[in-house]
Amino acid sequence: MRRMRNVKVVATLGPASDSYGIIKQLYEEGVDVFRLNMSHGAHSDMRDRYQMIRDIERDLGRPICILADLQGPKLRCGVFANGKETIVEGQDFRFDLDDTPGDATRVQLPHKEIFEALEVGATLLINDGKLRVVVKEFGPDYAVCEVKVGGEISNKKGVNVPELILPLAALTEKDKKDLEFVCSLGVDWLALSFVQRPEDVEEARALADGRAAIMVKVEKPACVKAFDDVLAVADGVMVARGDLGVELPVQDVPPIQKRLVAASRRAGKPVVVATQMMESMIESPVPTRAEVSDVATAIYDGADAVMLSAESAAGKYPIEAVKTMHAVAISVEADATYRTGIEATRSTARDTVADAITAAAREIAETTEVKAICCFSSSGTTALLAARERPKVPIIALTPKIGTARRLGLVWGLHCVQTGEVGRFKHAVVSAARAARSHDFATNEDKIVVTAGIPFNTAGSTNIIRVAPVDEKSIFEGEAE
């Protein structure tokens, strides 16, 4: 099953997409990566969904990528004696550690770490930023705040502290249990919430111990400020616009998104644009024009993937949402200005032999009649470099490891194929030719570009390139085998 587009589609599974038949249809209509949201559902639910995906993978004969999204710390206020209260602009309102039910003047905030990090003048946002208060005075167990934007506050509403780095680890005890569970299942990516510093990524990596790649969710201002350092230790990035739009002025989110996508592309690390992409399709069979433009913008910028959240997990029209996102991607990538933008923003860094080889592969493919670039890669490094180039021709990522084939399913333009082990470059060329034919990328009359690293099974060793015929009889013509 070959996709006729380069950008990948991520879809979240949930009550609306919880059967073999629906998940299979979602894949057939365009989903490349399935997201398991660990904030919702028991481990038994996740196990069942995971197994259905792997059954579909087996039945269709295509590697499928699975991403598990860890919840991270959730900061919430306590409960109110009346269930809810209304606070008004100009009044004082107190947060403290006392678990007595709250009233119109105070409520519990059961996170001592917040009080430890507070400063006078710091802003607290409540209920996704609908209410805003500013700290007037505080101690180790309380904060008196002035209400700047009032409204209704009710039980367990979320609290954001955008201006401060909180002394909270990105992984809670629940997250650690969830991480171990999904890694034991065999997921391909872990999305890490509440990242503020590179050390948060390193902790998750140590716990994953090579069993899954680490994707950083950029949703905190602190992560935006430290992005270069965070990106250096991450395997991928998710631009989580929802939380960013709460903790930062909404007008700041679009330029931040563009910067993060561009930086990730330069680094050759996959980047997903997520949150509220087609949110109206939770209730409507068609998106708004603004949502279509939002998805298109991410694709024009060269993002590796765009993501559906509640649209596919809990919405009324999960299939239609996937079809629409797929159709938008096809339309954008067919636009001449798409290629103009992609080429104008391509990284020109050529620091290594591997960089030069993959750049040469793209240039050869784009100036000759070559039908595809075929990357033979055990670890995935060669394929990631090829995708960073954003070539005009398709990329076939060949690997003997099913885990690598699955993980690379998130990456722009990669059509992943599991092959047998090879020990010689000529045998890799033969495998590439067979894959190009069997997956309808080329015929015996065509040529392909093949790149690989010698010796095989050495990460980052891309050092050889060949323009080869697809006809196997011609591969060894005139050469001793």
Strands (E), 310-354: none
Assess contact for 261 and 303: CB atoms under 8 A: yes
CA angle 349, 351, 218 (to 5 degrees): 60
Structure-token pair, residue 137? 């005075």
Structure-token pair, residue 377? 């890669």
- Find all residues with CB under 8 Å of 143, minimum gap 6, and list them: 94, 95, 96, 109, 114, 115, 118, 124, 135, 137
Token look-up 């905030």 returns 109
DSSP 276: S
Decide if 406 is catalytic: no
Cα–Cα distance measured from residue 86 to residue 473, given in angstroms and rounded to the nearest whole number: 79
Decide if 275 is catalytic: yes
Decide if 8 is catalytic: no
Q: Following CA atoms 293, 388, 62, 452 in sequence, which dihedral angle do they give, to the nearest 10 degrees?
A: 170
Residue in 24, 74, 76, 437 annotated catalytic: 76
- What CA–CA distances, in Å, run from 277 to 5, 128, 218, 375, 471? 18, 17, 16, 32, 44
- How is 65-111 classified by DSSP, letter by letter? EEEEE------B---BTTSEEEE-TT-EEEEES--SPB-SSEEE---
Assess contact for 251 and 273: CB atoms under 8 A: no
Assess contact for 356 and 435: CB atoms under 8 A: no
Residue in 8, 62, 94, 217 annotated catalytic: 217
Residue type, 294: D
Residue in 35, 265, 269, 390 annotated catalytic: 35
Three-state secondary structure of 168-189: CCCCCHHHHHHHHHHHHHCCCE
Assess contact for 442 and 417: CB atoms under 8 A: no
Token look-up 């009550």 returns 15
N residues, the chain = 481
Residue in 12, 275, 399, 451 annotated catalytic: 275
Active-site residues, by number, are 35, 76, 217, 275
